[in-house]
């Protein structure tokens, strides 16, 4: 909505990510509220400052680590890349960033990451030919499956964006054919990867290959047949599918293309709807009033995206010109309002009517709000609207779950973190819960890629071993603290356990990959949304409490107990924010205290637990049944 959203609890800023806790904070487990010395030369301090969105301190420490030749090559390489990225993305100095990248190259460590970053910077300067060369070098220098994946995707992405920059006119057929061959192969091997599927869909539409475009659309939503399509995504799915299948040079018709464009827009692909219209001027698609409103809306989205990025850059520079920003959005909204077709007389523009109208016509969710201290835009498009009754123990409540995708912006933090973390969702005033789909789709892919990469598995196990060494001493000092080794072990071994169970059931090949990805996504959605947010709905119905800490504590207990994989879901509680001054931090601490106390009282019956060691580092030795028993004993709703 235009104007500030008054935010009651901390739920809005519950960033939800899944994946293995290795490398640079692959979950949002960062230390909140800690004062970090900008003179530090610790890579962990730099990462903590970065995830606190303290760009000045993070940049200072990353620079210190990069310039410190006594640091190991991994730390210097990571720090140097962050310095280069921040110079480009935050401080608008691409020349300095590229010079730093040239120096980092001499370290000869993880060059694929370096050259994919270089390609992004060059593409952002619209030097697509050099960006494509950098992406090709990323492919050539890759040594693992994950590195090759990132290099190939970067290459295909920049070839596609080069064509987009030329208004979808192809000037290098050999380059296009090569990129399409690569993305087609990736779409087959990497089925279920939404980024690959998105790009494959775009290429296929550009080349009039409707059957492949349909495969890309289905893969984007991780669907295997059209019966799985929820009506809130596409209303007339059989006709939409047929429009894809007829989208080829010899069977193309105007009516068919109109149906396909409407379906693309309805499912959130406004850019691709505009692409199809642009490359087929012979069809005179501007004659259709309904299509025209999609094209006007696409133009509106592009303008909003630019205004929002400019506003975020001003925040980095220390200026919060939110009034000017809001005025610019209202100007664009008014122009869109005036361009829309109306059955009756056009009503006068207002912010409230505009939000309702773009939701009705384009399934848009438009929220201007402050989150974690920063004002920004959270805007996406509804791809699922699901209502169900949530039952926990003897209580139940109605629950509405809305998933949005095709984000224009996921707030200042989403822009700042640049894909490494993002807000996972928020509660609405009408008691519904809104989920940002992209916060859930990328984690399962990354987890699969790491488990499928033999070199990556070796690195993971090495880092887990290193992180585990300090767990006991940390727990002796504080029996209820975050333990990096425990968190990493749970993520890795629970992931591996799921994969092994699918293999043992006889699933293989592409089916194994897609089943793993979908299973992991369902586990997280079931726990963090239906169990956690469903508990909030039950507690509100019961007038359980107005204290956010108490409400979060109850919801976290439900999140673990009603999870398909309780130990996995417990790891959302084993977070660096344990005990901080937020409601989530305090709730996490209370759960940890309760579990440690339960283990102490029951240690004689826990055969795998060593009573002479601290208990918290051994929590992953509990069976799911034992963990659920402990959680249930803490829950007032169950007792």
DSSP 8-state assignment for residue 344: S
| Residue 102, number of CB atoms within 10 A of its CB | 11
- Determine which of 192-206, 300-314, 359-373, 471-485 has the lowest per-residue pLDDT on average: 359-373
The Cβ of residue 153 has, within 10 Å, a number of other Cβ atoms equal to: 22
How remote is the C-alpha of 590 from its chain's centroid? Answer: 28
- Going by the DSSP 8-state scheme, the letter that residue 207 receives in this structure is T
> β-pairing, 374-392 with 395-410?
antiparallel
395: Cβ–Cβ under 8 A, 6 or more apart, which residues?
A: 538, 541, 542, 637
Residue 8, pLDDT score: 26
d(CA 267, CA 404): 11
Six-digit token pair at 156? 């295909």
Label residues 555-578 b or e (16+ Cβ within 10 Å = b). Answer: bbbbbbbbbebbbbbbbbbbbbbb
pLDDT the model gives residue 357: 97
Distance CA 416, CA 94 (A): 17
The closest of 134, 133, 135, 121 to 199, measured between CA atoms, is 135
In sequence order, which ranges of 526-623 are alpha helices (DSSP H)?
Answer: 532-541, 548-561, 566-570, 583-601
CB 74 within 8 A of CB 113: no
pLDDT at 396 over 70: yes
Integer angstrom CA distances of residue 388 from 315, 395, 512 = 40, 14, 29
d(CA 502, CA 512): 7
Task: Report pLDDT for 179.
Answer: 98
Coil, strand or helix at 627: helix
pLDDT at 27: 34
Mean pLDDT of 544-563: 94
Annotate 431-492 with DSSP letters as a single string: S-EEEETHHHHHHHHHHHHHHH-HHHHHHHHHHHHHHHTTHHHHHHH-TTS--HHHHHHHHH
Query: β-pairing, 374-392 with 364-371?
Result: antiparallel
Distances (CA, A) of 378 to 351, 371, 422, 433: 16, 10, 11, 14
What is the pTM assigned to this prediction?
A: 0.87
Lowest mean pLDDT among 268-277, 439-448, 534-543, 616-625: 439-448
Question: What b-and-e string marks burial along 287-326, b requiring 16 or more CB atoms within 10 Å of the CB?
Answer: ebeebbbbbbbbbbbebbeebbeebbeebbeeeeebeebb
pLDDT score, position 172: 85
Average of pLDDT values for 207-216?
A: 97
Look over the chain and give the mean of its residue pLDDT values, rounded to a whole number: 91
Q: Order of strands across the sheet with 374-392?
A: 364-371, 374-392, 395-410, 433-436, 425-427
Task: Enter the DSSP assignment of 573.
Answer: T
> Rounded to 10 degrees, what is the CA torsion of 624, 625, 630, 636?
110
pLDDT band, very low/low/confident/very high, at 14 (cuts 50, 70, 90)? very low
Mean pLDDT on 216-245: 94
**Residue 319 backbone dihedrals phi, psi, to 5 degrees:** -120, 125
Residue with tokens 């019966």: 227
User: Which region holds residue 409: left if phi is over 0, alpha if psi is between -120 and 50, else beta?
Assistant: beta
Beta strands of 298-443 (E only): which ranges? 364-371, 374-392, 395-410, 425-427, 433-436
| H helix count then E strand count, the chain | 27, 5
Predicted confidence (pLDDT) per residue in 409-433, tens digit: 999 999 999 988 888 888 887 778 9
Question: The tokens of 291 are what?
Answer: 């299509």
Asked if residue 55 lies in contact with residue 483, where contact means CB atoms within 8 angstroms, the answer is no
- When computed from its CA atoms, the radius of gyration of the chain, rounded to whole angstroms, is 25
Q: Report d(CA 427, CA 449) in Å as an integer.
A: 32
CA distance 331 to 428: 26
pLDDT at 68 over 50: yes
pLDDT of residue 13: 31
Give the mean pLDDT of 386-394.
95
From CA 211, how far away is CA 328, in angstroms rounded? 41
Question: Is a pLDDT exceeding 80 seen at residue 514?
Answer: yes
Tokens 């990451």: give the residue: 113
State pLDDT tens for residues 527-549: 999 999 999 999 999 999 888 89
> Sign of the CA dihedral 377, 383, 386, 392?
negative
Please check the confidence at residue 136 and state whether its pLDDT lies above 80.
Answer: yes
- The rounded distance, in Å, linking the Cα atoms of 404 and 425 is 9
- Give the model's pLDDT for residue 545: 84
Q: What is the pLDDT of residue 18?
A: 30
Quick one: pLDDT at residue 511?
A: 86
Q: Is the pLDDT of residue 30 over 80?
A: no
pLDDT category, 378, cuts 50, 70, 90? very high
What is the C-alpha separation between 253 and 255, in angstroms, rounded? 6
d(CA 312, CA 493): 39
Answer with the residue of higher pLDDT: 575 or 570.
570
Longest Cα–Cα distance in the chain: 79
Per-residue model confidence (pLDDT) at position 51 = 85
* Res 34: pLDDT: 58
Residue among 537, 525, 536 at smallest CA distance from 397 = 537
């Amino acid at each position: 909505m235009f104007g500030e959203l008054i935010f009651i609890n901390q739920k809005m800023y519950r960033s939800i990510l899944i994946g293995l806790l290795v490398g640079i904070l692959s979950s949002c487990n960062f230390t909140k509220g800690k004062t970090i010395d900008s003179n530090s030369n610790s890579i962990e301090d730099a990462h903590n400052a970065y995830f606190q969105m303290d760009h000045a301190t993070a940049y200072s420490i990353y620079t210190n680590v990069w310039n410190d030749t006594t640091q190991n090559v991994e730390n210097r390489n990571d720090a140097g890349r962050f310095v280069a990225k921040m110079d480009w993305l935050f401080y608008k100095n691409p020349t300095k960033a590229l010079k730093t990248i040239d120096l980092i190259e001499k370290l000869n460590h993880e060059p694929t990451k370096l050259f994919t970053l270089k390609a992004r910077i060059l593409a952002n300067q619209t030097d697509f030919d050099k960006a494509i060369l950098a992406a090709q070098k990323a492919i050539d220098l890759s040594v693992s499956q994950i590195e090759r994946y990132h290099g190939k995707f970067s290459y295909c992405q920049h070839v596609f964006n080069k064509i987009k920059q030329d208004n979808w006119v192809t000037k290098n057929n050999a380059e296009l054919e090569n990129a399409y061959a690569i993305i087609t192969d990736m779409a087959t091997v990497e089925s279920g990867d939404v980024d690959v599927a998105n790009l494959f869909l775009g290429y296929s539409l550009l080349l009039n290959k409707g059957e492949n475009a349909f495969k890309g659309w289905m893969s984007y939503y991780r669907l295997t047949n059209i019966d799985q399509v929820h009506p809130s995504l596409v209303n007339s799915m059989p006709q939409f599918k047929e429009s894809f299948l007829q989208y080829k040079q010899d069977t193309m018709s105007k009516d068919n293309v109109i149906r396909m464009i409407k379906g693309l827009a309805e499912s959130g692909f406004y850019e691709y709807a505009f692409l199809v219209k642009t490359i087929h001027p012979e069809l005179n698609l501007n004659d259709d009033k309904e299509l025209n409103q999609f094209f006007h809306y696409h133009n509106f989205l592009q303008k909003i995206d630019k205004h929002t990025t400019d506003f975020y850059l001003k925040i980095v520079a220390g200026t919060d010109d939110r009034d000017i920003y809001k005025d610019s959005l209202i100007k664009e909204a008014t122009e869109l309002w005036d361009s829309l077709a109306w059955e009756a007389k056009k009503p006068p523009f207002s912010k409230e009517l505009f939000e309702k109208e773009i939701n009705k016509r384009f399934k848009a969710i438009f929220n201007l709000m402050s989150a974690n201290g920063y004002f920004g835009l959270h805007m996406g498009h509804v791809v699922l609207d699901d209502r169900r009754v949530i039952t926990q123990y003897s209580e139940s409540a109605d629950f509405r779950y809305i998933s949005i995708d095709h984000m224009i912006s996921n707030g200042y933090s989403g822009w700042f973190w640049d894909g490494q973390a993002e807000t996972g969702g928020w509660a609405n005033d009408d008691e519904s819960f809104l989920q940002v789909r992209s916060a859930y789709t990328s984690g399962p892919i990354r987890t699969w890629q790491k488990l499928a990469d033999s070199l990556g598995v070796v690195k993971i196990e090495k880092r887990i071993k290193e992180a585990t060494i300090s767990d006991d001493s940390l727990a002796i000092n504080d029996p209820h603290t975050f333990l990096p080794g425990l968190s990493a072990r749970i993520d890795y071994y629970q992931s591996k356990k799921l994969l092994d169970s699918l293999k043992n059931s006889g699933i293989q090949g592409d089916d194994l990959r897609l089943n793993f990805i979908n299973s992991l996504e369902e586990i997280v959605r079931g726990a963090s949304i239906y169990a956690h947010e469903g508990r909030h709905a039950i507690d509100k119905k019961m007038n359980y409490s107005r204290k956010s800490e108490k409400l979060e504590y109850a919801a976290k207990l439900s999140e673990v107990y009603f999870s398909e994989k309780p130990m996995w879901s417990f790891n959302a509680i084993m977070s660096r924010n344990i005990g901080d001054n937020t409601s989530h931090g305090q709730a996490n601490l209370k759960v940890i205290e309760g579990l440690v106390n339960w283990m102490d009282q029951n240690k004689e019956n826990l055969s795998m637990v060593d009573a002479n060691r601290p208990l918290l580092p051994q929590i992953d030795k509990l069976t799911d049944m034992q963990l659920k028993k402990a959680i249930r004993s803490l829950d007032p709703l169950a007792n």
